[in-house]
Amino acid sequence: MGETGLRRYKLVFLLPGLLTLLAIILFPLLFTIRVSASGWDAITPELNWVGGSNYATLWNDVRFWQSLARLSGMAVGTVLIQYVLGFALALLVWRDVKARRLFRLLFLIPMMTTPVIMSVIWRTIFHESLGPANDLLHLIGLGPYPWLTAGGWAVASVMIVEIWQWTPFMFLLLLAGLISLPREPFLAAAIDGAGPIRTFLNVTFPLMATVSIGAIMIRLIEASKLMETVYVLTSGGPGTASETSGYYIYIKGLRDFDIGYAAALSITYLVIMIILLTLVGKLLHRVLVGGRS
C-alpha cells in the first residue's frame, strides 16, 4: 500500500471521533471564556465586553473560595476512605473466600445505580424523625443526629453517600489489578515464609502502585465535579454549609442567570482543578513509585 493510501486510512479512523469531540467540547469552552469577559445576566443578556471585571469580583468572593476549599476537603476525604475501603474489600474477595463471585457482584452494585436517585432514597433514610438512620442508632443508644440540618453533619452525610456510591468503582479497578498480578512474587514470598501482613507490604502493595495511582486519580477527577449529591441531599445547606463549587456556579448561572459571572467562576474552577489534580498526580507518583524501580 502506498504512503498516501495509508495516510488516508489513518485519518478515516481518527477524524470522525476527534472532530465530533472537538465540535461538542471546544466550542463551549471557547465560548465560556468569551462569555466570562461579558456582563451577560438576566437583565442584559448580551455579549458585551467588561474585560476582567468578573474575575476581579470573584477574587473577593468569599463564598466561592469557601466552596472550593470545602470541595477539595470533601473530595480528598471521600477518595482516601474509598481507596482504603475499596482496597480492603478487593483483598477480601480476591481469593480464598466462599461465594466469592456473589460478593463481588454485590459490592459492585452501588456504582451501577443512579447517584441522584439513590440520594433521594438516602434523604429519606436521613430524615430526622421518619427515617431509619436515627431510629436504628437509637436502638444502640445513640442520637438523634441532625443529619441534613446542621453544617458538619450535612457534609458528613454527603460524604457517606459518596462513599456508598463510589467505593465500588475503586473496588472494581483495584480488584481488576489484583487479578492480573503475576503469581511468581507471591510464591517467592511464601517460600521465604512471609506472613499475610509482610506479603501485603512487600509484595502486593508495591505491585499495585500504578493501579492505585490510576484508580485514585480517576476517582479524584470524578469527585472534583461533586454537586448532584449535594443538590438532592442538602441543596448546599443549611445556609451554604455543604455547598460545593459546582453547585454554587449552578446557582449563579442557571438559577440567577448571572451568566457572565458564572462563566468566570467556571473557568477559574476548571483551571484550579486541573492544576491541583496535576500536582496530586505528580505527588502520588513520587510517593508510591518514586524511590523504587
Site for another protein in 65-124 (CB under 8 A): 85, 88-89, 92-93, 97, 100-101, 103-118, 120-124
Separation CA 147–CA 151 (nearest Å): 9
Separation CA 213–CA 282 (nearest Å): 10
Using CB under 8 A as the binding rule, whether residue 24 contacts another protein is answered as: yes
Total of residues contacting another protein (CB under 8 A): 90
Using CB under 8 A as the binding rule, whether residue 137 contacts another protein is answered as: no
Shortest distance in whole angstroms from residue 285 CB to another protein: 16
Separation CA 48–CA 224 (nearest Å): 31
Phi-psi region of 61 (alpha: psi -120 to 50; beta: other; left: phi over 0): beta
Shortest distance in whole angstroms from residue 144 CB to another protein: 12
Q: Is 170:83 a contact under the CB 8 Å cutoff?
A: yes
Using CB under 8 A as the binding rule, whether residue 18 contacts another protein is answered as: yes
Span from 48-56, 73-81, 186-194, 245-253 in contact with another protein (CB under 8 A): 245-253
DSSP type of residue 293: -
Q: Is 263:54 a contact under the CB 8 Å cutoff?
A: yes
Q: State CA 252 to chain mean position distance.
A: 22
Residues 175-234 that bind another protein (CB under 8 A): 175-177, 179-180, 196, 211, 214, 221-222, 224-225, 227-228, 232
Residues 34-63 that bind another protein (CB under 8 A): 35
Q: Which is nearer to another protein, 6 or 42 (CB)?
A: 6
Separation CA 13–CA 15 (nearest Å): 6
Span from 57-65, 75-83, 172-180, 199-207 in contact with another protein (CB under 8 A): 172-180
Shortest distance in whole angstroms from residue 132 CB to another protein: 5
Q: Which is nearer to another protein, 8 or 286 (CB)?
A: 8
User: C-alpha cell of 170?
Assistant: 475503586
Q: Which is nearer to another protein, 133 or 155 (CB)?
A: 133
Separation CA 76–CA 67 (nearest Å): 14
